[in-house]
Amino acid sequence: MASKAVIGIVKAVSLVAAPILAAQVPELVEKANKSKEIKQELQKNMVMVPDVIGANISDAQNIITKIALNYLAIEANADKKYKDSKADTVVKTSPRVNSSVAPATVISLHYLTKKVIEESKGLATEYEARKAQIKQERHDKIASIQTNIQSRTKDVLDKIPVKRKTDEK
């Protein structure tokens, strides 16, 4: 009985709501179309972040400026991968290369300085030293295990009685 009442209420609500919703649909469609047009218009004006990775910072700044973008030059953080790089080289952009951005967007240009390269060389040296240390520790551990195995094997073999020809007679 209760389900018939619920069905009746739903039918009544839908009869009342349907005309109201039907009146709203054209307005909603119009807003959606307008939103789509605005988005398309914005996309027409968007600019791609150029690939300036590896470029000299001055050249990168000129390229960025020529396409109606702004820039902020930021000293990159030291990293072992920069140990053999040249100073004043752009190594990263933010937003990333080939991203679509609005005109006048500020692009962060992360570049290397001599100081960063020296720090990077130090990091690379530390990394290689640690890598060699780990390799040596592994080698020493394996040698220790091999020695232990040989010693235990000898102990076991020494405990096994061996029949000699003289014992057979």
Which residues lie below 8 Å from residue 63, measured CB to CB, with a gap of 6+?
Answer: 50, 52, 55
User: Which residues share a beta bridge with 47?
Assistant: 101
Q: Which of 130, 116, 22, 38 is nearest to 77 (CA)?
A: 116
Which residues lie below 8 Å from residue 79, measured CB to CB, with a gap of 6+?
Answer: 120, 123
Tell me how far apart the alpha carbons of residues 49 and 98 are, in angstroms, rounded to a whole number. 5
pLDDT digits (tens, 9 = 90+) for 124-136: 999 999 999 999 9
pLDDT digits (tens, 9 = 90+) for 98-148: 999 999 999 999 999 999 999 999 999 999 999 999 999 999 999 999 999
